[in-house]
Each structure stands twice: as C-alpha cells, then as structure tokens.
Chains A and B, each alone.
Chain A
Amino acid sequence: MTDLTKLTIAEARDLLKKGDITSRELTEVHIASVDAADALNAYIAKTPELALEQADKADAKIKAGEQKGMTGIPVGIKDLFATKGVHTQACSHILDGFKPEYESTVTQNLWDDGAVMLGKLNMDEFAMGSSNETSFYGPVKNPWRRGDTDTVPGGSSGGSVSSVAGFAAMGATASDTGGSIRQPASFTGTFGFKPTYGRCSRYGMVAFASSLDQAGTITRTVRDGAIMMESISGFDVKDSTSVDMPVPNFEAALTGDIRGKKIGIPQEYHLAGMPAEIEALWQQGIEWMKAAGAEIVDINLPHTKYALPTYYIVAPAEASSNLARYDGVRYGLRDVPQNGGLVDMYEATRAAGFGDEVKRRIMIGTYVLSAGYYDAYYLKAQKVRQLIADDFKRAFEKVDAILTPTAPSAAFAFGEKSDDPIAMYLNDVFTVPASLAGLPGSSVPVGLDANGLPLGLQILGKPWDEETVFKVSGVMEEAANFTAKPAEWWR
C-alpha cells in the first residue's frame, strides 16, 4: 500500500471521494507520522483523539455527499491560532496553560469544511523571528540538513513548514507579518502562500502587528495551497479589517496558461553579496516564465531599501501595544514577588514570560511611539510605508505579477544568526516590502543549493488577485519540477 502521508491534499481528496481511503485511515497514519517526527519538534501539542473524532465526522460527510476540498484532510495549526480548549500560547511562556474558550475564524472555517486537526505547531514566540529559535518550546528542526548539520526551518512558521516538509501534516496554517510564511517555505522546499491583507479574518489569531498579520498556508504543492486557502479565506464581521469580497475558486486559476502575462523583475532586488546560486536560480525562473509565454518586464521599486527599517518600526510599535495585555492579571503566567504590588507583578511576570527577541521588539516599539520620537520614527515610517505601497501600485500598472527570490540565503545552521539581530532581520529583505503593501505572495520551491538545501522563488500579485499568484506559481512549479525530498533522518 502507498504511504498515505506522501499524498498531496488534492490526491487524498480524490481518493476520499472515490471511497478508496477513509479520513480515519488517513488520519491514523498521520497521527503515527506526527509521533515519529518528534525529533523535528514541530508539534508542541498533539490532539490525536480530536483528530480521530473529526475524521469520523468527515467520513460521514463524505458519505453524505457533502465533501469539500479540505474534508477529512489532516492538518497542523500554528500555535498562533486560537483553538477551543486546546493549547494556544503563540509559543510564549507568558501564555502558560492558556486554552481559549473560543475558536479562531481561520480554524473554524477549516473545521466547518471537515478538516482534521493533528495538533498545534511550534513557532517563533509571538511570531517574532526568522529561524524558529525564539520559541519557548525550543527550536524546530528543518527536515533538510546541510550534510550532517541541522538547519533552521526559517520562521516564524517553523513548525508549519517542518511538519509539512516532514510528512507530519498534509498542510498547515501559518501567518505572515513580514515573511513568516514565505521565508520558511523557501527554507523547507514547501509552498507558502500569503493572501492579500484582509482576505482572511484575524479573529482569534494572537496579534503580533495588526496592520501586517495575515493568515496563510503551507502545503507541498501549489494546488494544495489553492484548496486550503479557499477554505480559510473570507470576510468576517468580527474583524473590521477583513474585506467583504467573494472568495474565488483558487484552484480553478491553475490553468497552466500564463501566455501574454507580464512578469516584473524588480532591479532593486539584485542584492550585493547575495549567493550566486540564488541569482542563477532567479534567472532560471525568468527563463521558465519566458518559455511559458510570459513577457518579462524590468521594473523599479525605488523605496525597497527602506522597507526593512520601516518594518522594524511599524511592527514593533504595534507589537508593543498588542502585547500589553499579557500582564499576569487575567490569564497565563503570573509572577508576584513577595510583598509585591501591581507594578512588581507586571515587571516580574513580563520579565519571566517574554523571551529576549520579544522584549527587544517591545522596547523598540515603545521607544518609537514615545513622545518626542513619534514623528521621527512612527509617523515617518508610515509615510515611507505608503511610498513602498505606491511603488508596487505603479509597477502593477505595467505587470501582472512580480518574480523575486524569496530569501537571500538557504536555511542556515542553529546559532549562526541568532546572536546578530540585524543579520537575522535581513532574511526578510525580499518578503517585507510586499507585507508592508498588504500584497498577496507565494514562495515556490524551485531547486537545491550546492549543499542540497531547498531554495524558493517569490511571486507577488496585485491586491485581491491571488488567482494570478496561484496561476504563475503553478506554472513555476511545473517548470521547476522540484521532486527532491529530505532524507527522513528524524523517523
């Protein structure tokens, strides 16, 4: 019998429909696969009983002819999404023991469609990190190794990519604030998709930076991404920033036909010092696009160089305020020194509850919002953010999609960058601009570097034009024919 964990979501869906397999079978092998992947540290909470219960319900649904794209499909959920009665801590110590009474809209959408939850996935604490080294639950390992050396899976959605690349989930929810879906997808040979800001509800998603946070998916194929994205998308009255627009059939966009499409190549993304093989792969991607009948157009995004500094003002500013609610008063960790008062409790709780990276960003955010600095930092950053969005707007008057590398490097080893925040932040140099502009984007796995580590290319689209991003991603996937799999050392 074939290994069911190696199926794509689309394949499993078709087999479920035909009755060749049941969701229960599919779920059971995945539960075993989750257990077998403990060495990856991708899951920080497992929910096998719930999974089997959901699987049985899904089987009943399928029997009743009510199957949808995600019905009966076992997935992992990033710890950022509130799941009723289940571990939801954004992998922070400060949310110790927190199990919400409510369900995030994104996960509710999945359950409504009959999807199956395998458990909660590791991530950088409060989604702050690019290597999944800031989690209170320890780092996640990338299924892909550099020889014998473990590598990071990228971040912050490290558990999401590692579980999907390691066949311990067919798909996973993820979230992207500055690149937390696309960069780890690139590091693990998976397909990461971040929709337009406002496409998915943020209700029940632990907030990092509200104006940037957006849910998305990690899958092994573009088609799977389309299926899963369609399930989690949609307007929600409980999130004022979600937008009331119909959700297209994303899968239908995968026609394979991009003839006549104009693909923009931003000249500012040719970074000095970037590995030659990434440049070469990018060039290869351009050739594939041409071969598929697309027209390549050089474009300029002149404010690109300001994107990272802008992001590292806006995101920490919002985070400093969003994380104020973790005060030890109502839930999670509480640390009260002997004879301590309220302020002592705040200080002790937050000192013990937050990791270094989170503290760093709270301090940066507090600083840039302070009286006397607000105009010079926060307000200026908001203006630059607008300029960056305008760059894209102008570019999209000429092109249908934009093609860039996803990250300036392949996966790196543990500790290589964690002592140098700036080097770490540079990982997001290609993903952050689109986040600031709220654009949809993907990372498609296209090849391996000299060390045998995966590399991805990023495809960006116009606001609300996820379909073109999927379409171009599908063509790229087919052209790249990326079939490499990690050696399953963790089993």
Chain B
Amino acid sequence: MSNYRIQGATGDWEVVLGLEVHAQVVSNAKLFSGAATEFGAEPNAQVSLVDAAMPGMLPTINAECIRQAVRTGLALGAQINKFSVFDRKNYFYADLPQGYQISQFKHPIVGEGTVTLDLGEGRTKDVGVERIHLEQDAGKSMHDQHPQLTYVDLNRSGVALMEIVSKPDMRSPEEAGAYLTKLRTILRYIGTCDGNMEQGSMRADVNVSVRKPGDPLGTRCEIKNVNSIRFVRQAIEYEAQRQVDIIEAGGTIDQETRLFDPSKGETRSMRSKEEAHDYRYFPDPDLLPVEFDDAFVDAARESLPELPDDKKARFVEELGVSDYNAGVLVGEKESCDYFENLLSALAAKTGKDAKALAAKASNWVMGDLFGALNKASKSVSESPVSAKQGADLLALVEDGTISGRIAKDVFEIMFETGKDAEAIVEEKGLRQVSDTGEIEKIIDEVIAANPGQLEQYRAGKDKLIGFFVGQVMKATGGKANPGMVNQLLKPKLDG
C-alpha cells in the first residue's frame, strides 16, 4: 500500500488513479487502410482515400494490427477475446474525416490483465488492466499556421492505437509513473509500440479522484493526453491538491475532462459532463466482427520474446546479477540488449561460462559505460563503444592482458575515439607485465633505492608495503600485474 497522502486541513487524503494509455501500434500500414505510418512525413503525405473519408470508401482491417494487440494482451497476461467488434464513435471535428472514430466499445479484443510495478528496493505492486481495445487515431489540427484558418494534417488519421485501460489501482504519482514506465518497457520489448512519448506514439489520459482513506471512491476528473511520465506525475500532484482544496472549502468535484498545461504546471477544464459528447456508439456496419482461432493466438504467443519480469528473474537467479543491476538493465530494452550482447560476446571470447562473467559485466555496463554515457548525454543506442567492443575490453582484463585499472584508461580512449581495445593496448604499450623475472628485477631496484623505508618496514611499520607496491607500479607505468607484485614483494621486504 502506498502511503502517499495529501495533507489537508481536515486530515489526510488518499489519491485514486487510473490510466488510459494510447499506444500507437507498430505496423507498416494504418488500421483500416494501406497508408504508411512513418513519423515525420510532410503533412498529408500519408493519407489514403479511406483516411480522408472520401465518399464510398470502406475500411478493411489490417491483420498485423490485430496480431499486435493480441501479442500485447498476452504480454500482460490478459484474456484474449477471440471475438471482438469494431464500433463507430460519432462526433464532429475537423481532423476526424469520417465524422466518427472506429473503435471497440462493447467487445474489446483484450480483456483483463496485470502490470507488475517495480517500486524500488525489491517492492512490487500489481495494477489491473481492465481492457485493451483497438481504435484509429484522428488527424492533427494546426491552429498556429495561419491567423484565421486551422490547417489539418491527416497523416495520423487512421493510424492504429491500442487503448490500454487500467483499473483504478494506483495511489500515488510515483505509482502512476512506475505503471507508465513498466508498460512502456513491456511494449518496447515485444515491439508493439515504440513508446516514444515525444513523438506522441504513447500518451495517457489520467483519471484522478481523492477520498479519505477507507471512504468510497470520489468523483473523478480525466486529464487528457498527457505526453510524458514527468507531466503525468506533475498533473496528478496538481489535480489531487486542487480537488482536496475544493472539497475542504465545502465544494464538490464536477466530473469533467481537463487539460494539463506543462508550462504552468496546472490542469484546467476542457469540458464538463453536461458538455460531454453523446458518442452514439454502434457496431460499424462496414466491418465484420473480428474472429480468430487458438492457432492464431498460439502463433502470437510464440512470437513473444522473453518478457522483462522473466528476464530480470533470470539475470538474478541464473546469472548472479544483483537485483538492483538487473532491475535497471531490464528497465530499458536498449540497455538490456547491450548487456546481453556484451555478455554473450565476452563468454564466447573468453570461453568462460556466462555465469562467471555476468556480475562483473553488469557492473561494468552500469558503472563505466553508463557513467561515460551520462557525462556525454548519450543514450545506450548512441554509445560510441559497441557491446562487442566492450566485450573485447573486458576479455583483456579476464585473460590478464591488462589490469582493471588500465582498462578504465583504455575505455576512456575507446569512448573518445571509437577504436578497439586491443589496438589501443598495443599502440600505447599497455600490456600488463606478468613476467616474474622482470617484476623481481624492478622490486629489487625499488628496495635498493629506498633503504630508509625498508628499515622502518622491518622495524614493524607494515603499512609501508603499500608504498613499495606504489613505487613498483610507478616504475612499470602501472603495467605490472598487481597480484604478482604483492606476491613477490613481501618475501623480499621481509628479507
């Protein structure tokens, strides 16, 4: 249970949250037409006759979108409805060419499922999914292109969306954020939505209500089209406080649709319940009900990759990666791909079992790599050092060619130049010195050059061994194998 509370004058208030996430389906063509769906095309360059609702044009279902919705349902452990119906949701708007949106109302393609939130420190929480239905997106009205006119871009018109409706199971802005994060991760893993919130391929309607803990549900307001996880949190914080203030001042909450203004950090009314549309839903007579068999569902299931929760469990239990590392790596598909590619390349190169390497490799990805990427403000997919290159570097440490210390320097150069580790090691002569005779020779020289320190050591100042190690390393330019130095130095100092 979340203990997030809004402290009001009359006591603590609990926030109740439900999310409707609109996720653009990854598919080459729109839900009911053959037009392309690529982001960033010239306005109205990707519009078929169907998308523009020309007279006599008919929608035909794109089977790939159906498959993607089913895959999404399966990934959320949801009920798959082998019979579903497309309905028309009727309303007028300039960027809605048909005068109705084709959606699913009474019979959605996916029923109840679950998203497990990771709340940090090993805490999890299950949030129920009420349903997922498929629907077509509207176009875009552009009010800022002309002083009097509104321009309409229909590129998005007809693009397939999944509306993923949660149950009102969340109780804090953090949980809502964690839900969106987790959902996004899952969709990206299975490739049904690219999760790109800046480009609008994922956006959320947030339902917010407040109540005294234990009371029945309060009246909710719906905040439309919030397009980042940060804004979702901000919108909830503002909206919950607004509702508490109204109720405590003796008012009541009007059920209404609101908009979040990120520049002011506030929500404001869009339309009230009285102004709400009567959508006059009815089954679209241009489309037959969607029906498929178990074989279709089985094939969709078989096409699913390992899901994030399963992957994390495997990292921890089978590979010995720490719970924290596993959580972070699995959280972003690109990070996880990087780690897995690096680990398999490293195992191949060293001939060692992945289990023996995984913890170290995860530490390196999380530490050295992420540190450098953060500093350079780059994402994993923009990393100048590929997973294969990273594996080569770690392999050099594994086989004793270079020390861990030298590896850090080599990595810095790799990150800057994109060169391979081995080339840098050769070029700079960074190969570790593991020759007993050579190291012994240097030790002898160091001891001979520091008689005072040797006397003090032999008089009982044990800590001076560090000084001698330092001198040896310095004399070898850091290349001496530190284990061997320690091993050889002590007997000589002890005489």
A and B interact = yes
| Chain A interface residues (CB < 8 Å from chain B) | 81-82, 88, 90, 95, 98, 100-102, 104, 202-207, 209-211, 237-241, 317-318, 320-321, 323-325, 327, 329-331, 342-343, 346, 366, 369-371, 374, 378
Cβ 8 A contact of B90, one of A102, A210, A240, A369: A369
Binary per-residue interface labels of chain B (149-171) against chain A in the complex, 1 for a CB within 8 Å, 0 otherwise: 01010000000000000000000
Q: Does B121 contact A (CB under 8 A)?
A: no
Q: Please state if A327 and B286 are interface contacts (CB–CB under 8 Å).
A: no
Contacting B56 at CB < 8 Å: which of A202, A320, A327, A366? A202
6 nearest A-B residue pairs (beta carbon): A324-B99, A210-B285, A369-B280, A211-B285, A325-B53, A204-B56
Q: Most A CB atoms within 10 A — which of B49, B54, B152?
A: B54
Q: Quick one: closest A residue to B89, CB to CB? A: A321
A90 and B282 contacting across the interface, CB-CB below 8 Å: no
Verify A206–B56 contact, CB threshold 8 A.
Answer: yes
Task: Given A325-B97, A369-B90, A370-B278, verify A206-B55 contact (CB < 8 Å).
Answer: yes
Pairwise interchain contact B58-A202, C-beta atoms closer than 8 A: yes
Residues of A within 8 A of B152 (CB): 329
Quick check: B92 and A240 within 8 Å, CB to CB? no
Q: A325-B98, A325-B99, A370-B278 are contacts. A240–B53 as well, Cβ < 8 Å?
A: no
Knowing that A98-B55, A202-B56 are A-B contacts, what are 12 other residue pairs whose CB atoms are under 8 Å apart, sorted by A's residue number?
A102-B49, A207-B55, A238-B58, A238-B60, A239-B60, A240-B288, A241-B287, A321-B90, A325-B55, A330-B52, A374-B280, A378-B282
> Size range of the interface on B?
20 to 34
CB contact under 8 A between A324 and B100, given known A317-B282, A342-B94, A366-B280 = yes
Q: Could you say which residues of chain B place their CB within 8 Å of the CB of A81?
A: 56
**Contact partner, A330, options B53, B59, B93, B285, Cβ 8 Å:** B53
B211 sits at the interface (CB 8 A): no
What residue in chain A is nearest B88 (Cβ atoms)? A321
The residue of chain B having its C-beta at the shortest distance from the C-beta of A88 within the complex is B55
B32-73 CB contacts (< 8 Å) to partner A: 49, 52-61
B56 A82 Cβ-Cβ under 8 A: yes
Among B256-287, those with CB < 8 Å from A are 278, 280-282, 285-287
Point out the residues of chain A lying under 8 angstroms from B55, CB to CB.
82, 88, 90, 95, 98, 100, 206-207, 325
Can you list 13 residue pairs at the A/B interface with Cβ under 8 Å?
A82-B56, A202-B56, A206-B56, A209-B285, A240-B286, A240-B287, A321-B90, A321-B99, A321-B280, A324-B99, A325-B53, A327-B92, A327-B94
Please give me the residue from chain B that is nearest to A350 by CB atom.
Answer: B92
Are B100 and A100 in contact, CB atoms less than 8 angstroms apart? no
Bound: A101/B61 CA distance, A: 22
CA distance A11 to B90 in the complex (A): 50
Tell me the chain B residues, 92-107 only, with Cβ under 8 Å from chain A. Answer: 92-94, 97-100
A101 and B60 contacting across the interface, CB-CB below 8 Å: no
A321 and B88 CA atoms in complex are apart in Å by 8
> Could you tell me the distance between the alpha carbons of A313 and B218 in the complex, rounded to whole angstroms?
39
Q: Are A100 and B54 in contact (CB under 8 A)?
A: yes
Q: Are B282 and A321 in contact (CB under 8 A)?
A: yes
**Cβ–Cβ contact A104 & B56, under 8 A:** yes
B285 to chain A: which residues have CB within 8 Å?
A: 209-211, 241, 318
CA distance A440 to B2 in the complex (A): 64
A205–B52 Cα gap in the complex (Å)?
A: 16
| A95-B49 Cα distance, complex, nearest whole Å | 16
B58 close to A203 (CB less than 8 A): yes
Please, which residues of chain B bring their CB within 8 A of the CB of A95? 55
B49 near A240 (CB under 8 angstroms)? no
Write out the residue numbers on chain A whose beta carbons fall within 8 Å of the beta carbon of B100. 321, 324
Chain A contact residues: over half helix, strand or loop, or mixed? Answer: loop
B residues contacting A by CB (< 8 A) are: 49, 52-61, 88, 90, 92-94, 97-100, 150, 152, 278, 280-282, 285-288
Interface secondary structure of B, over-half rule: loop
Tell me the bound Cα distance from A369 to B88 in angstroms: 11
Which of B98, B99, B281, B288 gathers the greatest number of chain A CB atoms within 10 Å? B99
Chain A nearest CB: distance from B88 CB in Å? Answer: 5
Q: Is the CB of A210 within 8 A of B286?
A: yes
Complex CA distance for A32 and B265, rounded to whole angstroms: 73
Whether B97 contacts A101 by the Cβ 8 Å rule is no
B282 near A239 (CB under 8 angstroms)? no
Distance from A107 Cβ to chain B, minimum over Cβ atoms (Å): 11
Separation in Å of the A146 CB from the closest CB of chain B? 36
Indicate if the CB atoms of A237 and B60 lie closer than 8 Å. Answer: yes
Chain B residues contacting A238 (CB-CB under 8 Å) are: 58, 60
Which residues of B are found within 8 Å of A100, using beta-carbon distances?
A: 54-56
Given A102-B49, A324-B92, A370-B278, A240:B58 Cβ within 8 A: yes
B150 touches A342 (CB 8 A): yes
A284 to B150, CA, bound (A): 65
Contact A374 B61 (CB under 8 A): no
**Which chain B residue shows the least CB distance to A379?**
B282
* A369 neighbours in B (Cβ, 8 Å): 90, 280-282
- Residues of chain B within 8 A (CB-CB) of A206 are 55-56
> Contacts of A204 on B, CB cut-off 8 Å?
56-57
B99 & A327 in contact (Cβ 8 Å cutoff): yes
- Nearest-Cβ distance from residue B273 to partner chain A, whole angstroms: 12
Partner of B58 from the list A211, A239, A331, A374 (CB cut-off 8 Å) is: A239
> How far apart sit A239 and B150, CA to CA, in the bound complex (Å)?
33
Interface centre among A206, A330, A374 (most CB of B within 10 A): A330
Residues of A within 8 A of B88 (CB): 321
Cβ–Cβ < 8 Å partners of B56 in chain A = 81-82, 100, 104, 202-207
CB distance from B48 to the nearest CB of A (A): 10
Q: Tell me the minimal C-beta distance from B409 to chain A in angstroms.
A: 63
Q: How far is the CB of B38 from chain A (nearest CB, A)?
A: 22
Q: Chain A residues near B60 (CB, 8 Å)? A: 237-240
For B93, what are the chain A residues with a Cβ–Cβ distance below 8 Å?
342
Note all chain B residues with C-beta closer than 8 A to A239: 58, 60
- The smallest C-beta distance from A293 to any residue of chain B, in angstroms, reads 40
For the complex, give the distance between the alpha carbons of A88 and B286 in Å.
Answer: 21
Given A102-B49, A241-B288, A324-B90, residue A329 in contact with residue B59 (CB < 8 A)? no
With a cutoff of 8 Å between Cβ atoms, the chain A residues found around residue B98 in the complex are: 324-325
Interface centre among B61, B285, B286 (most CB of A within 10 A): B285
Give the complex CA separation of A262 and B68 in angstroms: 51
Which residues in A have their C-beta under 8 angstroms from that of B57? 102, 203-204
CA distance A237 to B94 in the complex (A): 29
Closest to B91 in A: A324
B284: nearest residue on chain A (CB-CB)? A210
List chain A residues, Cβ under 8 A from B92. 324, 327, 343, 346
| Cβ contact within 8 Å between B286 and A241 | yes
Chain B residues with Cβ under 8 A from A210's Cβ? Answer: 285-286
A108 to chain B, nearest CB (A): 12
B281 surroundings in chain A (CB, below 8 A)? 369, 374
| A298 → B minimal CB distance (Å) | 34
Chain B residues lying within 8 Å of A378, measured Cβ to Cβ, are 282
Contact A102 B150 (CB under 8 A): no
Chain B residues near A90 (CB, 8 Å)? 55
Contacts of B53 in A (CB 8 A): 325, 330
